[in-house]
Amino acid sequence: MKKFLTLSALAAFAAIASFGQTILTPTTLSAAVTKAKQLQIVVASATGITAPTQTTSVDLYIDKELMLVEAVSGTTVTVSRGQGGTTATTHASGALVFASSPNNFFTGSADNAGIGGSPVQAGGSCTRTNLLVLPSIDVETGVISDCLGGVWVNGVGTQITNTEYRLSFPDPGVTAYTSINTNGTAVGATTLYCTAFELPYNKLLTGLAFINGTTVTNDHRYSILYDSSGIALANGALTGVTTATASVYQAFAFTAKYFAVGPATYYGCFQDSVGSDTVRMLVTGAQDNRLTKGQTGATFGTVPALTVPTAFTTAVGPYLYAY
């Protein structure tokens, strides 16, 4: 892949800039790619994957291989393999598939610079709002980076078989949910409830789930994911989802899946509409080694900026899992 920008790439950048920031959300392979010369692949969703025109084209990035889309029929995509100096190889069913214009994939972090920011360097400073495309994908190394908490974080990929479907924070272990935080803590309609968690590796997140208490009154709730500096990254529908069933994890999906880079610190939060439910929270003397916060002044139907906590506060941080 060339380590400079062509005139067409610069024009594409201008087009991207006029439309704001692009967040790359991957789909997955519905079937394994078993041969290096296989020219048709099947994806779970073909949204955003289109056949080339005189002015546009789409590349697919899968496990350090770049492919050029030649034709699309439903979820079957015809591709040219091993583009941009990458090597055609096999890919497992379920592998992540990023689709975007070719200029959004790069070789070498200095070429990428997050398209609009300083060069990608782990621990180096960055300003998320200045970046036109996230995450940053280096097709040569396979490293996927994101600007989180004002610094570049290089993600750690794992094989599909090694990833967990749900990651609990904190893990309640073998404790019965009904014994956590007694009956749960009554929540308020104007408070945002948050728990910090460490995502250990890259994961495509669908949403967050929280353990209900004993009182569930058909309230409405949505989840919000923040980075370590309190910038909102993903959230559920702001009309909320009806709460149901006591003493279980209830899942609240984001409006769109979010590719979270790890290892990194995030905050999992929720907002309720009425404030008549109870939710099982971390309390003093029981896994109180996490940052938690109940941020008052929240308005249901909005996504507030989070002022990140600096200490543990009892009974305001929910038990959660990311899925």
Is the pLDDT at 254 greater than 90? The verdict is: yes
Q: Which tens digits make up the pLDDT trace of 272-321?
A: 999 889 999 999 999 999 999 999 999 999 999 999 999 999 999 999 99
Query: What pLDDT was estimated at residue 116?
Result: 58
Give the residue extent of every domain in the chain.
7-154, 167-322
Answer yes or no: are the C-beta atoms of 17 and 114 closer than 8 Å: no
Query: What pLDDT was estimated at residue 115?
Result: 57
Point out the least confidently predicted range of 42-46, 71-75, 127-131, 186-190. Answer: 127-131
Answer yes or no: are the C-beta atoms of 154 and 122 closer than 8 Å: yes
* Sheet with strand 65-73: strands edge to edge: 27-28, 96-100, 59-62, 65-73, 76-83, 40-42
DSSP state letter for 287 = S
> What is the average per-residue pLDDT within 124-147?
91
Q: What mean pLDDT value characterizes the chain? A: 90
For tokens 């009309």, name the residue: 239
241: closest CA among 221, 268, 218, 261? 221
Point out the least confidently predicted range of 3-17, 244-258, 292-306, 307-321. Answer: 3-17
Beta-sheet pairing, 191-199 with 264-272: antiparallel
Query: What pLDDT was estimated at residue 114?
Result: 59
DSSP state letter for 187 = P
- Would you say domain 167-322 falls under CATH 2.60.120? yes
Q: Which tens digits make up the pLDDT trace of 92-120?
A: 999 999 999 998 888 765 455 555 566 67
* Cα separations in angstroms, 287 against 18, 31, 281: 47, 41, 10
Handedness of CA 7, 8, 11, 13 (dihedral sign): negative
Residues 6+ apart with CB under 8 A from 206: 251, 253, 254, 257, 323
* Tokens describing residue 141: 């190394």
Band of the pLDDT at 66, cuts 50, 70, 90? very high
What pTM does this model have?
0.90
296: closest CA among 175, 208, 191, 215? 191
Task: Fill in the amino acid letter for 226.
Answer: Y
